Homo-oligomer: A and B are copies of this chain.
Amino acid sequence: MPTLNADQLRAFSSRIFKALNVPKEDAELVSNLLVEANLTGFDSHGVIRIPIYARGIKMGAVKPGADIKIIRETPSTAVIDGGWNLGQVVAKYAMNVCIEKARNSVIGLVTAKNSQHAGRLNTYAEMAMAQNMIGIASVNSASYVAPFGGKTKQLGTNPLCFAIPSGKEPPMILDMATSVWARGKIMVHLARGEELPEEIFMDPDGNSTTDPSWYTKGGVLRNLGGEIAGYKGFGLSLLVEILTGALTEGGVSNSEEYRSRPFYGGNGIFMMAIDVAQITELDQFKKRVDNLLSSVKNSATAPGYNEVLIPGEPERRKKAKRLKEGIFIEDKTWGDLTSLATELNVKIPN
């Protein structure tokens, strides 16, 4: 059960990916983003994924160094074929194209198909935000979520991410699954043997359950909104499927074209960048955003709450803490990583 600092873990991860013939720059990108997920508290999207990516590379389903091609294009849009390269490489490429389109045409819209797992979305939305653009990113993935009223897996957890440029206030970065929770939170409860809250999970017969052990026995995630408003999360999830599965030409999660792929079905990717300064006065925009965020932040709290947290704030806090205290890797993950390293003849950190 080691605790590593971020630099050690990044370097270790990069060595593994380079040993798997991932180009140096891509190995470092993927390693940076996986470790960033660990730093911000999303261990389910962190280095735990390395052995999975490695398996995909070894079986030829994940294709490091594959050409990424623009297959359709207008001055403001592009459809990209990622060639089954690592998702982080495809998504970064796609967002760079999107930002360039937005610079020239105010709004950029880019979709990508044939991409492997792109990791957390905030990174890509924040690339646009750093250029004073509103950044939007979304992906679909294998089905784990039932439609509202249904009991079968039909939809990915289908996250939506928005990053908004602000002035002196820390920015709002909303990165949310449209299912009530992401899969990672179920996995964490399962690993810790903790009961789930109500309205999160169902057994394969559609009965509500608080037992996370159904995760490995066909359990199904529910929509954001629960019994009283789950049709909203369901609707947002359908929207994501359409943007990432139909507009990309990659296929929606529950389709034969998606399910028939080897390995995982990958991520259909949808991205937008909106260049604020070409639409309105950037300073005024930022001032309004600052005022909104600070007044909301400073509002009186409800019983049981100590403060109002702006989306993105919990991640920033977790990162500050883990940069100082290091990243804890659980035995199972560490065992998988060190076996892989040994097999690839890669140096393991002390």
Contact = CB atoms under 8 A, between A and B. Distances in A.
A181 interface: yes
Interface of A: 72, 74-77, 79, 105-107, 109, 111, 134, 146-152, 154-155, 162, 164, 172, 174, 176, 180-181, 197, 199-200, 202, 205-207, 224-229, 231-236, 238-239, 241-242, 245-249, 251-252, 254-255, 274, 276, 278-281, 284-285, 288-289, 291-293, 295-296, 299-303, 305-311
Given A206-B302, A254-B292, A235 B154 contact: no
A288 B241 CA distance: 10
A289 B178 CA distance: 18
A109 to B, nearest CB: 6
B77 A288 contact: no
A164 B246 CA distance: 11
B238 A292 contact: yes
Given A252-B291, A292-B242, A292-B252, A302 B150 contact: yes
Nearest to A305: B149
Contacts of A79: 279-280
A210 to B, nearest CB: 12
A18 to B, nearest CB: 36
A311 to B, nearest CB: 4
Contact of A254 (B134, B228, B295): B295
A255 B236 CA distance: 28
B146 A302 contact: yes
Given A172-B238, A279-B109, A307-B149, A225 B180 contact: yes
A174 B239 contact: yes
10 contacts: A74-B278, A111-B279, A149-B306, A149-B308, A151-B300, A151-B301, A224-B225, A238-B296, A251-B288, A254-B295
B76 A107 contact: yes
